[in-house]
Chains A and B, each alone.
Chain A
């Protein structure tokens, strides 16, 4: 009977523990789908890679060797594909590796005839919480030729989410800088507190990425050495996207957190983007999320802790495809 003294404590303690467990589950585990993406484009079952055929598979960066690869990407007619490049009448992609700041950096140089080939996709084609999938899987599901991870909107409760012209979330996150991609393919950096998502939509925005910060604006670095994303370590794998000029983009992914590649700080990333000659550059989700997918393969070495090379499941991607 002397336990009666502790009855309140025990019961309240249990309630507190149960509630805490629920909050943790709700944040990290419980999947909630708020809406499904409407299918407007064809599926990945469309015929792939029937351009020029040859006996063998891979070659190096020689485009003249013209090989096909068994990719699930939708290709245009006469697509010329190699390990590190892709060219058809609408899209040209060249991937180069750089070694700078003790890190391997992969740069995909993209030229398109029309900005409609620059798109985004959501995991499992659904907008919600804890709805995630590997970058490579999302890319395959959408017939992407080249893809990088997006802004991982799924971990945030606030921040504009506008994908392929559909607005999913219009609640602003304080102090967040976004990248807006308009239907003419131009980039703009905005602060969410300055403008509403609906206003951007009316101006012709088709994509809004909400992570940040902006790395390069109007050709010069716009991030200070002190800025860091959350409480992350300074040198990290990074993903960034930039525009050099009309219909000419770059997707940049760096390795990091390994012995071979230390990783980049935001300022180093901005310096690198500037050296590529970008007009505007924007930082996307880095760390274990950083992934570059090209033609069925993962180009970089994604890792969360540095001890295992493994893709992380993310909530969205940015890609080039039909």
Chain B
């Protein structure tokens, strides 16, 4: 879905591989976590291990977005010919 935003904003900057991988991996982790928690809830039980999906998934997505933001800052800095401080 964020790719939709990119298209709309007409950026020519496509996220680099690291950011993409982290992002997809993070989303997959969170999705799987949600499904698993849902299954456990319907069965009527809990498992503390299932929380690890959040601990891994959220930082992954956050890092991915961060890398992309840094990447776009650096790119626009280069375009303007200004070095980043």
Question: Chain A residues in contact with chain B, CB under 8 A?
Answer: 5, 8-9, 12-13, 16, 19-20, 22-24, 26-27, 155-158, 229-232
Contacts and interface: CB of A to CB of B under 8 A. Distances in A.
B50 A23 contact: yes
Interface string B40-64: 1111111111101000000000000
B25 A26 contact: no
B16 interface: no
Majority secondary structure of chain A interface residues (helix, strand, loop or mixed): helix
Contacts of A230: 41-42, 44
Contacts of A156: 45-46
Contacts of B32: 16, 20
Contact of B47 (A13, A16, A23): A23
Interface string B13-49: 0000100010011001100100010001111111111
5 contacts: A12-B21, A12-B25, A16-B28, A156-B46, A157-B48
Contacts of A8: 21, 25
A19 B28 CA distance: 13
B42 to A, nearest CB: 5
Interface of B: 17, 21, 24-25, 28-29, 32, 36, 40-50, 52
Contacts of A12: 21, 25, 28
Given A9-B25, A13-B28, A16-B29, A155 B45 contact: yes
Count chain B CB atoms within 10 A of each CB in A16, A24, A156 and give the residue with the most: A16
Contact of B49 (A5, A26, A155, A231): A26
Q: Which 5 A-B pairs have the closest CB atoms?
A: A155-B45, A230-B44, A8-B21, A27-B47, A23-B49
B24 A9 contact: yes
Contacts of B41: 230-231
B53 to A, nearest CB: 9
Contacts of B17: 5
Nearest to A158: B46
A229 B50 CA distance: 22
A8 B16 CA distance: 14
A283 to B, nearest CB: 13
A98 B25 CA distance: 57
B40 to A, nearest CB: 6
A20 B28 contact: no
B45 A27 contact: yes
Contact of A26 (B29, B43, B47): B47
